[in-house]
């Protein structure tokens, strides 16, 4: 069965009574819709302003240091008192989100292409629905699974062998340096760290991106694809030179939406990232993200400055996510106009 | 049909509201939550008064009682006398427990490894980096220790357990006292953070060569490899109920500053005293907006002191000594 879009019955001129009713209710309807939109916008602005106000004491006290320092000392009894520098969580947020994206994008494209080009018609709907269902699994579930199932496995299969591997000399001292400092860092083979968190994130955003990409691929007019097949293109050629170029910009938008979700993900990351406030030394080191830091500390933060520092981190996350979504929106709009 | 359902729903809702009207509400520390739950269950069966306790953490408990959203707050980190006076609160201990270092060392069984407070602090400072370090070997003559790097595991969330543990390290090591100090969250010099007791024990289990700290009840129920600790007298003790009780007996509850019951039961003298023992505390207002409610809270703890010791022991908590209970009940006269 091909789904023919159900056009509204083109029954010519609208009914006279409908016209008169519309003229009465349309202004009210329009007003209500406008109010709904304004309310949403007001909420968004309100959240942003209250985060800025709440975080102000921390911004004012530490200035630029809030963004550049990795010292995070909530204990007021130590010489120098409390100090909050958010560089560790901010960088951790960006690294985990980007690595997650790099890992999940190729697979998401693969799933979407399979569903639109190769999948037997009968399986298309069930698989499509399954992908969308996966996107709805709560994050805490991924967190528990990550800590109790994934981390031990990751430790055994990936981290322990890597920890014992020494780069062979013919790769040169440069590679050995890169390997030891950037890849290995201070690896502790227990399945936690930046990379482990990124992989969990990748699994979480994968169904979301795959579902969006599939929708996009379906927007390619069948005429275009069929004519490509008609001139003798292979499926690979159709995907590479017709489908993907056709949806390119929107696809970037979809990817950015995935990135947005990865940036704010909390519980799943908190369980496996290792929760160290300092700068991550490598992909396997422990780190923290903005969301995981807030989740860890907010309940027990009692001093005003500690609470303010956490709210300030929330503000930074808000700005980062806002920027990502704004870019996504712009790209999607550009596609629509093209 | 619909009418019956509606009637049933209304009945349930009404029953819910009437029951909860007399219930006591409390919030705070997670460490005593299991025993408060058990006490509440038994108390409700006897008196019909329920307890709604939310284990949101000690800091949360202090915040909630300050905001007057609960009838009592609960905290593992006691407030000092001046803070109590400022907020108009009184504080009293409810039950005691211990904090226990746990390790993952291939070939080392529970209770075999011996540590001192100073060595523990140096491990958590990152100064002792390997299990073969002479400082550790010196305490463990005859025990074969692997030459593994030490992975330090701590709590990532703010926690009363962390407060107790870091207070002990502060007492035992000058470097720790000046660099890190004691708080429910500190700037850890090294190591990884696990969320909650579960997170810490999961990382310790998965990491050969790691060391962490958890509440005693948690270590016991999960069969973690606990260590011995050196007492102030120089002996080594295991974390067992009798040794927590021995430490608790040495605490001078009669002379706390300003009668605040502010007490850390750390590094107490006695050959059997487990060095990291701690009480968990209840906070209530001196001047109750609703005096009857205030009395309900005290009645609950009065019942718990009289009838709850056995339940506490079953869950590996340490009941308070009788003399202490008497002086707490005396203190309650200030609540009105």
Place of tokens 């408060």: B36
Q: Tell if the CB–CB gap between A296 and B58 is shorter than 8 Å.
A: no
Range of weakest confidence among A270-284, B25-39, B208-222, B241-255: A270-284
Highest mean predicted confidence (pLDDT) among A169-183, A271-285, B322-336: B322-336
pLDDT for position A125: 86
Band the pLDDT of A254: cuts 50, 70, 90: confident
CB pairs under 8 A between A and B: 100
Contact B185 A192 (CB under 8 A): no
Distance CA A290, CA A86 (A): 8
Greatest Cα-to-Cα distance within chain A, rounded to the nearest angstrom:
87
3-state secondary structure (DSSP) of residue B222 = coil
Q: The dihedral of CA B300, B304, B305, B306: what is its sign?
A: positive
User: Terminus-to-terminus CA distance in chain A, angstroms?
Assistant: 31
Using pLDDT thresholds of 50, 70 and 90, give the confidence band for residue B11: very low
Chain B residues interacting with chain A (CB cutoff of 8 angstroms): 56-60, 62-63, 151, 156-159, 178-188, 191-195, 198-199, 202-203, 206-207, 210
Q: What residues of B are in contact with residue A147 (Cβ under 8 Å)?
A: 198-199, 202
CB-based contact B183 A274, cutoff 8 Å: no
Contacts of A278 in chain B (CB under 8 A): none
Q: Is this model's pTM higher than 0.90 or not?
A: no
CA dist B207 and A266 (Å) reads 24
Q: Which helix (H) or strand (E) holds B100?
A: strand B89-104
pLDDT recorded at residue B15: 43
Q: Is B165 helix (H, G, I), strand (E, B) or coil?
A: helix
Q: Is the pLDDT of residue A8 over 60?
A: no
For B29, nearest residue in chain A (alpha carbons): A300
Would you state the structure tokens that stand for residue A54, as one six-digit string? 């709440």
Locate A158 and state its tokens.
Answer: 């990936």
- Is-contact B125 B180, C-beta < 8 A? yes
Cα–Cα dist B260/B262, whole Å: 5
Q: Is the pLDDT of residue A4 over 50?
A: no
CB-CB neighbors (< 8 A) of B169 in chain A: none
The minimum CA-CA distance between B159 and chain A, rounded to whole Å, is: 7
When pLDDT is averaged across residues A290-318 and rounded to a whole number, the result is: 91
Query: Is the Cβ pair B57, A190 closer than 8 Å?
Result: no
In chain B, what's the furthest Cα-to-Cα distance?
78
Would you state the pLDDT for residue B1?
Answer: 46
Q: Considering only CB atoms, which chain B residues are within 8 Å of A190?
A: 151, 192, 203, 206-207, 210
Say yes or no to pLDDT of B63 above 90: no
Proportion of chain A above pLDDT 90, given as a percent: 30
Q: How distant, in Å, are the alpha carbons of A238, B92, B189, B268, B286 from that of B84?
A: 74, 11, 32, 25, 10
Contact A277 B187 (CB under 8 A): yes
- Strand pairing category for B276-285 and B72-75: antiparallel
Inter-chain touch A286–B192, beta carbons under 8 Å: yes
CA B94, distance to chain mean position in Å, is: 10
pLDDT tens digits, A167-190: 788 888 888 888 877 777 777 778
> Closest-CA residue in chain A for B148?
A188
CA distance A78 to chain B (A): 6
Q: Which residues of B are less than 8 Å from A73 in CB distance?
A: 186-187
Consecutive H or E run containing B115:
strand B114-115
The answer to whether residues B119 and B148 touch, using CB atoms and an 8 Å cutoff, is no
Structure tokens at B334: 């200030």
Q: Which of A151, A192, A156, A213 is nearest to A284 (CA)?
A: A192
Read off the pLDDT of each residue in A187-205 and give the average, rounded to a whole number.
Answer: 88
Per the CB < 8 Å rule, is B202 touching A78? no
Residues of B in contact with A155 (CB under 8 A): 206
Residue A27's pLDDT is: 87
Helix/strand/coil for B210: strand
Q: How far is A58 from chain B (nearest CA, A)?
A: 17
pLDDT for residue A6: 46
Residue B18 has pLDDT above 80, yes or no: no
Q: Taking residues A144-152, what's their average pLDDT? A: 89
**If one looks up domain A72-337 in CATH, what number appears?**
1.10.3720.10
Residues of A in contact with B207 (CB under 8 A): 188-190
Whether B195 sits inside 8 A of A275 (CB atoms) is: yes
Helix, strand, coil fractions of chain B, as percent rounded to 5: 45, 20, 35
Find the CB nearest A274 among B178, B180, B193. B193
For B186, the closest of A75, A271, A274 (CB atoms) is A75
> What does the alpha-carbon distance between residue B52 and residue B34 come to, in Å, rounded to a whole number?
12
8 Å CB contact of B188 and A276: yes
Distance between CA atoms of A199 and B3, rounded to whole angstroms? 52
Q: Tell me how close the Cα of B59 comes to any Cα of chain A, in angstroms.
A: 4
Residue from A254, A321, A328, A307 nearest A57 by CA: A307
Question: In this structure, are residues B263 and B81 in contact, taking their beta carbons and an 8 Å threshold?
Answer: no
Do A297 and B159 lie within an 8 Å CB cutoff?
no
**Quick check: B206 and A76 CB within 8 A?**
no
Among chain B residues, CA nearest to A269: B195
Q: Inter-chain contact B194–A275, Cβ cutoff 8 Å?
A: yes
Q: Which residues contact A172 (CB under 8 A, 6 or more apart)?
A: none
Q: Give B137-166 pLDDT, tens digit per residue.
A: 999 988 888 888 899 999 988 888 999 999
Question: Are A146 and A272 a contacting pair, CB within 8 Å?
Answer: yes
The pLDDT value given to residue A208? 87
3-state secondary structure chain A: CCCCCCCCCCCCCCCHHHHHHHHHHHHHHHHHHHHHHHHHHHHHHHHHHHHHHHHHHHHHHHCCHHHHCCCEECCCCCCCCCEECCHHHHHHHHHHHHHHHHHHHHHHHHHHHHHHHHCCHHHHHHHHHHHHHHCCCCHHHHHHHHHHHHHHHHHHHHHHHHHHCCCCHHHHHHHHHHHHHHHHCCCCCCCCCHHHHHHHHHHHHHHHHHHHHHHHHHCCCHHHHHHHHHCCCCHHHHHHHHHHHHHHHHHHHHHHHHHHHHHHCCHHHHHHCECCCCCCCCCCCCECCHHHHHHHHHHHCCCHHHHHHHHHHHHHHHHHHHHHHHHHHHHHHHHHHC
CA neighbor of B293 nearest in space, from B93, B21, B14: B21
Alpha helices in chain B (DSSP H): 2-21, 33-47, 58-66, 81-87, 117-125, 134-139, 160-172, 174-179, 196-206, 216-221, 241-250, 291-307, 309-314, 322-331
Convert the pLDDT of each residue in A230-240 to its tens digit. Answer: 998 888 888 88
pLDDT score of A57: 94
A149 has a pLDDT exceeding 70: yes
Put simply, the answer to whether A300 touches B158 (Cβ < 8 Å) is yes
Angle in degrees, CA A254, A259, A263, rounded to 5 = 150
Give the strand order in the sheet containing B114-115.
B114-115, B228-230, B236-237
Length of chain A: 338
The count of C-alpha atoms lying within 13 angstroms of the C-alpha of A114, restricted to the half-sphere facing its C-beta, is 13
Inter-chain residue contact B195 with A72, CB threshold 8 Å: no
> Is B192's CB within 8 Å of A152's CB?
no
Q: Which residues of chain A approach chain B closer than 8 Å at the C-beta?
A: 71-79, 83, 147-148, 151-152, 155, 188-192, 270-271, 274-277, 286, 288, 292, 296-297, 299-302
CB atoms within 10 A of CB A114: 15
- On chain A, the residues whose CB falls within 8 A of the CB of B164 are none
Positive or negative torsion for Cα B291, B297, B303, B306 = negative
The answer to whether residues B230 and B236 touch, using CB atoms and an 8 Å cutoff, is yes
Contacts of A148 in chain B (CB under 8 A): 202
Query: Tell me, what's the ipTM?
Result: 0.75
**Contact residues on chain A for B157, CB-CB shorter than 8 A:** 296-297, 299-300
Q: What is the C-alpha to C-alpha distance for residues A312 and B247, in angstroms, rounded to an integer?
A: 43
Q: Can you tell me the distance from the alpha carbon of B277 to that of B245, in angstroms, rounded to the nearest whole number?
A: 9
What span, in angstroms and rounded, lies between the C-alpha atoms of A117 and B63? Answer: 57
Q: How far is B289 from chain A (nearest CA, A)?
A: 24
């Amino acid at each position: 069965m091909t789904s023919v879009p159900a056009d509204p019955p083109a029954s010519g001129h609208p009914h006279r009574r409908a016209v008169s009713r519309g003229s009465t209710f349309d202004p009210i309807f329009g007003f209500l819709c406008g109010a709904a939109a304004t309310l949403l916008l007001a909420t968004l602005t309100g959240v942003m302003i209250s985060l800025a106000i709440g975080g102000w004491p921390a911004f004012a006290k530490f200035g630029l240091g809030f963004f550049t320092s990795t010292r995070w000392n909530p204990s007021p009894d130590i010489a120098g008192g409390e100090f909050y520098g958010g560089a560790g969580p901010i960088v951790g947020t960006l690294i985990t989100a980007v690595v997650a994206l790099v890992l999940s994008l190729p697979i998401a494209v693969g799933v979407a292409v399979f569903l639109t080009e190769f999948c037997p018609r009968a399986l298309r709907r069930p698989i499509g629905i399954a992908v969308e269902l996966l996107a709805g699994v709560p994050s805490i579930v991924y967190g528990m699974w990550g800590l109790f199932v994934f981390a031990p496995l990751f430790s055994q299969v990936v981290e322990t062998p890597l920890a014992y591997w020494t780069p062979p000399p013919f790769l040169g001292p440069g590679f050995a340096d890169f390997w030891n400092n950037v890849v290995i860092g201070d690896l502790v083979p227990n399945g936690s760290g930046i990379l482990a968190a990124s992989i969990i994130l990748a699994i979480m955003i994968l169904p979301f991106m795959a579902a969006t990409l599939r929708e996009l691929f379906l927007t390619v007019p069948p005429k275009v694809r069929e004519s490509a097949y008609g001139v003798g293109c292979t499926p690979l050629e159709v995907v590479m030179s017709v489908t993907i170029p056709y949806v390119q910009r929107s696809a970037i938008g979809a990817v950015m939406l995935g990135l947005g979700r990865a940036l704010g993900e909390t519980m799943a990351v908190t369980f496996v990232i290792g929760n160290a406030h300092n700068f991550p030394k490598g992909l396997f080191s422990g780190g923290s993200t903005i969301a995981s830091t807030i989740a860890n500390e907010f309940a027990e933060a009692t001093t005003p400055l500690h609470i303010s520092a956490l709210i300030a981190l929330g503000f930074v996350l808000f700005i980062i996510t806002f920027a990502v979504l704004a870019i996504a929106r712009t790209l999607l709009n550009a596609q629509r106009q093209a | 049909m619909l009418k019956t359902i509606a009637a049933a729903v209304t009945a349930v809702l009404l029953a819910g509201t009437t029951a909860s009207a007399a219930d006591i509400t409390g919030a705070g520390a997670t460490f005593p939550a299991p025993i408060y739950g058990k006490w509440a269950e038994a108390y409700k069966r006897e008196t019909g008064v329920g307890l709604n306790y939310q284990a949101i953490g000690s800091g949360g408990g202090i915040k909630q009682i300050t905001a007057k959203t609960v009838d009592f707050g609960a905290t593992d980190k006691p407030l000092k006398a001046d803070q109590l006076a400022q907020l108009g609160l009184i504080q009293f201990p409810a039950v005691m427990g211990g904090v226990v270092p746990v390790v993952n060392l291939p070939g080392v069984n529970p209770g075999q490894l011996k540590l001192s407070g100073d060595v523990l602090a140096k491990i958590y400072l990152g100064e002792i980096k390997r299990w073969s370090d002479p400082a550790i070997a010196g305490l463990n003559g005859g025990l074969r220790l692997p030459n593994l790097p030490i992975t330090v595991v701590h709590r990532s969330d703010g926690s009363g357990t962390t407060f107790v543990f870091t207070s002990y390290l502060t007492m035992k090591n000058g470097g720790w006292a000046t660099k890190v100090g004691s708080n429910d969250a500190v700037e850890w010099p090294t190591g990884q953070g696990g969320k909650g007791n579960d997170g810490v024990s999961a990382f310790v289990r998965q990491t050969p060569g790691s060391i962490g700290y958890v509440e005693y009840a948690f270590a016991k129920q999960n069969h973690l490899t606990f260590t011995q600790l050196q007492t102030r007298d120089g002996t080594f003790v295991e974390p067992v109920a009798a040794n927590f009780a021995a430490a608790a007996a040495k605490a001078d509850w009669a002379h706390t500053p300003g009668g605040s019951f502010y007490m850390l039961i750390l590094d107490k003298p006695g050959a059997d005293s487990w060095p990291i023992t701690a009480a968990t505390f209840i906070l209530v207002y001196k001047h109750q907006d609703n005096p009857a409610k205030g009395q309900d809270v005290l009645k609950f703890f009065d019942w718990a002191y009289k009838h709850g010791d056995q339940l506490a022991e079953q869950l590996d908590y340490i009941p308070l000594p009788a003399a202490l209970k008497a002086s707490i009940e005396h203190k309650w006269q200030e609540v009105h």
